[in-house]
Amino acid sequence: MNRKKRIIVGMSGASGAPYALSVLEELLRQGHYVHLMVTEAAWRVLQEEHDWEIQKRERLFQERMGHLPGELVFHPLRDIGASIASGSFPVDAMVVVPCSMATMARIALGISSNLLERSADVMIKERRQLVVVPRETPLSSIHLENMLKLTNNGVMILPAMPGFYSRPETIEDMVRFVAGKILDQIGVEHQLYKRWKEEEL
């Protein structure tokens, strides 16, 4: 069984809320500690993609995931005095999923206008693992330059690109593939997708 990790998950306003929910559910199912932030635009995405009644805010996550054995700590986006805003607070990794181009740009420029961006800035300055999952197409040269800047600062850029060698049969299969790739990067074992030549492992 995995060592219990402390993971930060930030959801921003790009399409792709299913990826974030799949990552959250797997982390909590395994008993990890998750610190969650959701931007205003991400709440809108949850409404559009999952029909969530966003007036309930964090209660929605508790209703959906409160039965899982992990611990979910919800942080208001404006709480810049939260534990995860400080480099002295130990964290194993952070994932921004999905990551909008606006959020990526601010992280790349070191602009901390909210707790999500500040937490990402802390991960970079402390040389801790930060995984950014962009969901945009096509990409402009500005987007690509920001990705390169982040990569050069040790950030893992993991685009939401499902593979098809595992013969996915449902949308959920494709979502689980991307979620699994995210978990691979932060060292969390899982069985969300079938690996290439898995029988030879």
Summarize pLDDT for 126-136 with one digit per residue, the tens: 999 999 999 99
Domains of the chain: 6-200 (3.40.50.1950)
Summarize pLDDT for 60-106 with one digit per residue, the tens: 888 889 899 999 999 999 999 999 999 999 999 999 999 999 999 99
Query: In DSSP terms, which residues pair with 6 in a beta bridge?
Result: 33
Whole-prediction pTM value?
0.94
Biggest distance spanned by C-alpha atoms of the chain: 49
Tokens representing residue 31 in the block:
């008993």
- The rounded mean pLDDT for the chain is 94
